[in-house]
Structure 1
Amino acid sequence: MPKETLKEKIRRILGTQTRDQLKDLILFDHSQSLKANHPNPLNRAGKKCFSSTDEDGITLEILRRVGRLEDGVFAEFGVGDGTENNTLILAALGWKGFWVGGQELAVTYPDGPHFTYEKAWITAENILALSAACLRRIDAGAVDVVSLDLDGNDIYLIEKLLADGMRPTLFIVEYNAKFPPPVKFQISYDPDHQWQSDDYFGASLSSFVAMFARFDYRLVCCNSHSGTNAFFVDSALSQHFADVPTDIGELYVEPRYFLYSGRYSQHRTSLRTIEKILGPREQ
């Protein structure tokens, strides 16, 4: 095979870049179209500031509607290295709050009274103590926005917070979008669970809706750009969302996150997922 000339190499590279740019433009245009034509008006507010995709804009619109933009307390469980998450935009607004996660943060920060970070492995057994300790460090008694994304036991941890009386205005949770409504699916609780980059994680949207309903919370949005995060508000605030559909089928967004990473397939199927589906029904 003849050796590739420099001119041929440049042409090949430029051709690849052009294809990638075209793909990005098509994807962006499609995402904008989905947002503009979505039956849920909250999706039209989607905007990325520090979130993975369009979550920040949805969060701000929800808080604007309920009159809580000016001040508040946030809590986020699972923040990576701190450079991309759902509550950094609230800190930018002047809110105080805390993060808990398993990684070292990529930034330095003054600890308390406006912000604190606790590096810890989060389980149902310690999430209440972690929350209480962090709230003390920022001198706060309650939380207004909670975001949780741990790729695993999420539904169990949120239920633990709710059962203990934590009642924020807004919950932002990652749902397993592989399972569309009305499918109910959630992994078995395992305090040592570590995500294996497959489909065995978290819980379906229907499972989250059922759990939150027991605590009088209502689903108001799923982000349209990636189909990753669901937004639940206290049902007492429903009057602020009269124009938002109540049908879960209209609110559900299928998974689109693999498009942004360049992987044109869903999460691979885990044997644990199949075993969970075929196994005995949990009460």
Structure 2
Amino acid sequence: MRLFNNLRTRMQVLSTQGRQVGAAISGLFDLTLHHQTRSARTDHPNPLNRYGKKCFSQTDEDGLTLEILKRIDCLKKGVYIEFGVGDGTENNTLILASLGWKGFWVGGDTLRISIDPNSDRFAYLRDWITLDNILPLVQQGLSRISSTHIDVISLDLDGNDIYFAEKLLASGLEPKLFIVEYNGKFPPPVEFQIVYDAKHSWKGDDYFGASLTSFAKLFERFGYRLVCCNSHSGANAFFVHGAYSAAFADVPADIEKIYVGPRYFPYRKFGHPQSVRTIEQILGSHPAQLAAPDVG
């Protein structure tokens, strides 16, 4: 029995040490990734990349979104749409909701957060998106939040994205900023886009979406300019309406100096763990304590 107890104690010690080693390796991974990403931002020929920061987005998209909107004087209380939001805890538009914007999400997943069904500043439309229903979904969402215009669109559906972007733009929608996920495997000037399939489901391989060049040519047709790709992951491209081109005079005209290749390495830990209560408060599902309580 003593031998058994000694063995059990030893196994517990080894298990604890194993967890500590695992945590140390994870921390070292994040530290290395942080330094690599910082270098990727500062060394990139596009000065806009230096503004990349993570808050709610998967990587550094939030900082880019804020800088772009700051330059075009559109930080206060706009309207957003986001297509493809996962479980609702890592999104490109949560940072806008935190600034008091209103908007809606569209996606096929179950959210981890609770939503106020009577809210007039946020709605979630759960549906499988196709070319046939995307415009009715937009109208339904705008009606839910009592809005008639859109300032920012974010699109990340791992598949038919370029076809959806074209459908939205061709309908007359003119957001000031349009964020899309591109397939970073294909550098400029390669043109690539998957064949449209209403039932497409990403298999975790390189058959998804469209190349940066293909997106750039599409957006150029509708009067938009590519201003940035995010440095951390090389996954999101930012297009601004041509009316705001003057605010990006420092951005290179050459697409090859804007392109970022794929770096799909998210942080294993970023700050404290995400709480759904934080997101629910931002979206209005829980009332925010914006002012200090009156203590008499």
> Which residue pairs with 1:226 in the alignment?
233
Distance 1:91 1:15, change over 3 A: closer
User: 2-side partners of 1:150 and 1:12: how far apart?
Assistant: 38
Deviation, 1:21, is: 2.4
> Which residue pairs with 2:192 in the alignment?
185
99-108 vs 193-202, which deviates more?
A: 99-108
Once the two structures are superposed, the pairs formed by residues 82-161 of structure 1 within 5 Å of their partners are 82-110=88-116, 111-161=118-168
User: 1-side partners of 2:165 and 2:131: how far apart?
Assistant: 9
Amino acid at match of 1:169: K
Higher relative contact order (CA 8 A, sep 6+): 2
Partner of 2:114, secondary structure, is coil
User: 2-side partners of 1:80 and 1:16: how far apart?
Assistant: 27
> Which residue pairs with 1:77 in the alignment?
83
Size of the aligned set, in residue pairs, is: 259
Amino acid at match of 1:63: L
Distance 1:118 1:15, change over 3 A: closer
1:206 and 2:213 matched = yes
> Which residue pairs with 1:235 in the alignment?
242
* Structure 1 residue runs without a partner (length 5+): 262-283
User: 2-side partners of 1:12 and 1:76: how far apart?
Assistant: 41
> Which residue pairs with 2:33 in the alignment?
27
Query: Which is higher, the Rg of structure 1 or of structure 2?
Result: 2
Distance 1:9 1:98, change over 3 A: closer
Deviation, 1:200, is: 0.6
178-187 vs 4-13, which deviates more?
A: 4-13
Partner of 2:38, secondary structure, is helix
User: 2-side partners of 1:23 and 1:137: how far apart?
Assistant: 43
> Which residue pairs with 2:49 in the alignment?
43
Greater than 6 Å deviation, 4+ residue runs: none
TM-score by length of 1: 0.87
**Cα deviation per residue 1:2-43 (whole Å; 9 max; x = unaligned)?**
x89445555555444433322221111111121122222221
Amino acid at match of 1:59: T
> Which residue pairs with 1:281 in the alignment?
none
> Which residue pairs with 1:60 in the alignment?
66
> Which residue pairs with 1:165 in the alignment?
172
User: 2-side partners of 1:78 and 1:12: how far apart?
Assistant: 37
User: 2-side partners of 1:148 and 1:65: how far apart?
Assistant: 22
Q: CA RMSD in A?
A: 1.7
Identity %: 60
Amino acid at match of 2:136: A
User: 2-side partners of 1:135 and 1:195: how far apart?
Assistant: 28
User: 1-side partners of 2:52 and 2:166: how far apart?
Assistant: 27
User: 1-side partners of 2:143 and 2:214: how far apart?
Assistant: 32
TM-score by length of 2: 0.83
Deviation, 1:49, is: 0.9
Residue 250 (structure 1) aligned to one of 249, 257, 264: 257
Partner of 1:257, secondary structure, is coil
Distance 1:12 1:209, change over 3 A: same
User: 1-side partners of 2:22 and 2:101: how far apart?
Assistant: 44
Amino acid at match of 1:28: H
> Which residue pairs with 2:181 in the alignment?
174
Partner of 2:50, secondary structure, is helix
**Cα deviation per residue 1:124-159 (whole Å; 9 max; x = unaligned)?**
111000001111111111100000100010000010
**Cα deviation per residue 1:199-228 (whole Å; 9 max; x = unaligned)?**
110000011001111101110000001111
> Which residue pairs with 2:287 in the alignment?
none
Partner of 2:203, secondary structure, is coil
